[in-house]
Structure 1
Amino acid sequence: MQSFLTAPAIMTGLGLFFGTILAVAYKLLKVEEDPRLAHTEEMLPGTNCGACGEPGCLPFATKLVDNEVEPSACTVASSDDIEAIADFLGVDAGKATKRVARLHCAGGRREAFQIAEYHGFESCRAAAVVSGGGKGCSWGCLGLSDCDIACDFDAIHMNENGLPVVDVELCTACGDCVDACPRDLFELLPLDQKLFVQCNTPLEGEAVTVLCSVGCDGCAKCAADAPEGLIEMKNELPIIDYTSGIAASPKATGRCPTGAIQWLESGQFIDNQESERGHAQLH
């Protein structure tokens, strides 16, 4: 009978001992949470898209409360919401440059040579892995809507030419389309960066134009016409240094024989105007 009672007594004693240790540790090690944190998180969109550079709205709210970032870094929130957060925290809202997704390809159905018809799972990633899709250009857009499906903000839609059109008003630069594209064709750029190369093909001359009428043929005329230091030719493609601080101008696009480099005032493909202009320049 005595041994029967001893075991529960020991267990109860151990429980009280370790419980006391945990309670003391909690009291000593507890990190006080800023009471503004929960309300700040509630004021954010709650999309957890990562466009702000943080993995979610809670980590971003934490940095807001700690005054490590500005409210304007949230590209999803409206201007009114950003002002409300700034007023609540008593900080400056800041001014963020709007970024949008741009596609390094203008070779739609009308411009890119088709070598086959792809029949299978309607996915760019599947086509790229299984057969490479039906386009002759192995570096161009496959046009099977992975980016459209991945976009949580309804900012991407496929046009009649088989290319994804980004709505710059709805785009939040979250980067989902960048991750979804198996050919790494999307790049997030400030909307005010208007000079853009719509090609990703590392070929030159006729090797490009037989595959796509608006592909870059590597002639380097754009680099010659642009301000010195703005454009450098790498792997037969013009690479624009957006961090150079050198002001770009439409002049760099003037002598491009295929229209592969464009001056974009807003959207990349507005009623296919850019694509059609490049096609007309070749013919």
Structure 2
Amino acid sequence: MEHSLVQHSIIILVIMTSLGVIFGLVLAYANKKLAIEVNPLIHVVEDVLPKGQCGACGFAGCMAYAEAVVTNPDVPPNLCIPGKAAVAKLVGQLTGKAAAEVEPRIAQVRCAGSRAKAVKANEYQGVQDCVAANLLFGGPKSCKYGCLGLGTCVKACPFGAMTMSEDGLPVIDPDKCTGCGKCETLCPKSVITMMPIGAHVRVNCNSHDKGAVAKKACSSACIGCTLCMKECPHGAIKMDKNLAVVDAKVCMEKCTNPVCLAKCPTKAIKQAVLGVVPGSEDTVA
């Protein structure tokens, strides 16, 4: 009986091994027959991209963009924001496409509501993440438009261009920021936006509350008084639901003396000094 069991086991082992070999040969044949040849130019283009995998181009990573720009004639060569004009030109040369000029830009934090200036509505002790904190009554600040200061943008920056200051606000390193916009898409308060390199002034506020409410929540808030808008001789400042908004292009093209700065009663509008905590521009200007 034992001899019979051994024979039975050997037969099963032989059958399974044979089946494995057969399936392996079938898969190897199918892989060879069905293999899709990858255009080698795709890898060449990918090699010149910054590899930040930031998604600023609108595709899921550098490889996806490289494949699209090589194989799709409608995909332009200048979509890699971090690569700026140099990469756009090179991709254009490799793919035979004309590369339009890429406007250099940098992230800006539209909030000067530091721990000393912004009033707290409650104490948050949950997960140290801005998105999570925002789900709980909009976060711990009385101003529901301001930076939550938990550093989600800093952790997500693929280029290490952001740090958290002791005041609880992100600081952008102008030497490292590529303007990819990843921090902008992650911020649950839409505090971070992109501005052109060379902008003269910026508004360090994101609040759309009326003046008295905004000022009560934060001493550096824009109160929608319209003084800056009235003072600007070039029409570069408009009001958007109680918040001053600067048209950076008009300001850069026409303004040589930003008189709006002296008129702001809360100093919410400041010179666009890079690499400093929002609201502290006067100390380094």
Q: TM-score, normalised by structure 2?
A: 0.73
Deviation string 1:197-242 (CA, Å, 9 cap, x unpaired) is 1111122333222211100111111101113431111211112234
Match of 2:9 in 1: none
What are the equivalent positions in structure 2 for 1:1-283 lying under 5 Å apart?
Answer: 35-61=40-66, 62-63=68-69, 69-70=76-77, 74-77=80-83, 95-242=101-248, 247-248=254-255, 249-269=257-277, 273-274=280-281
Query: d(CA) in 1 for partners of 2:139 and 2:74?
Result: 48
2:161 partner letter:
A
Q: Structure 1 residue 265: deviation in Å?
A: 3.2
2:281 partner letter:
E
Structure-2 change in CA distance of 1:63 and 1:237 (3 Å)? same
Q: Structure 1 residue 84: deviation in Å?
A: 6.2
Query: d(CA) in 2 for partners of 1:134 and 1:276?
Result: 28
Query: d(CA) in 2 for partners of 1:156 and 1:40?
Result: 28
Structure-2 change in CA distance of 1:67 and 1:117 (3 Å)? closer
Structure 2 SS opposite 1:203:
coil
Runs of 4+ in 1 over 6 A off after TM superposition: 78-84, 89-94
Query: d(CA) in 1 for partners of 2:179 and 2:126?
Result: 30
Query: d(CA) in 2 for partners of 1:218 and 1:78?
Result: 35
Structure 1 SS opposite 2:259:
helix
- Deviation larger for 41-50 or 88-97: 88-97
Query: d(CA) in 2 for partners of 1:180 and 1:214?
Result: 24
Q: Is the 8 A contact 1:104 1:200 kept in 2?
A: yes
Query: d(CA) in 2 for partners of 1:173 and 1:203?
Result: 28
1:154 partner letter:
G
- Deviation larger for 124-133 or 32-41: 32-41
Q: Structure 1 residue 274: deviation in Å?
A: 2.7
2:274 partner letter:
S
Query: d(CA) in 2 for partners of 1:255 and 1:225?
Result: 8
Structure 2 unaligned segments of length 5 or more: list them. 1-32
Q: Structure 1 residue 182: deviation in Å?
A: 1.1
- Deviation larger for 76-85 or 241-250: 76-85
Structure 1 SS opposite 2:213:
helix
Q: Is the 8 A contact 1:214 1:275 kept in 2?
A: no
Query: d(CA) in 2 for partners of 1:43 and 1:59?
Result: 14
Q: TM-score, normalised by structure 1?
A: 0.73
Structure 1 unaligned segments of length 5 or more: list them. 1-22, 278-283
- Deviation larger for 52-61 or 175-184: 52-61
Structure-2 change in CA distance of 1:94 and 1:205 (3 Å)? closer
Q: Is the 8 A contact 1:117 1:134 kept in 2?
A: yes
Structure-2 change in CA distance of 1:81 and 1:127 (3 Å)? closer
Q: Structure 1 residue 93: deviation in Å?
A: 7.3
Structure 2 SS opposite 1:113:
coil
Structure 2 SS opposite 1:196:
strand
Q: Is the 8 A contact 1:157 1:164 kept in 2?
A: yes
Query: d(CA) in 2 for partners of 1:205 and 1:92?
Result: 48
Query: d(CA) in 2 for partners of 1:37 and 1:136?
Result: 50
Structure 1 SS opposite 2:245:
strand
Q: Is the 8 A contact 1:155 1:171 kept in 2?
A: yes
Q: Is the 8 A contact 2:147 2:169 kept in 1?
A: yes
Structure 2 SS opposite 1:102:
strand
Q: Structure 1 residue 45: deviation in Å?
A: 2.5
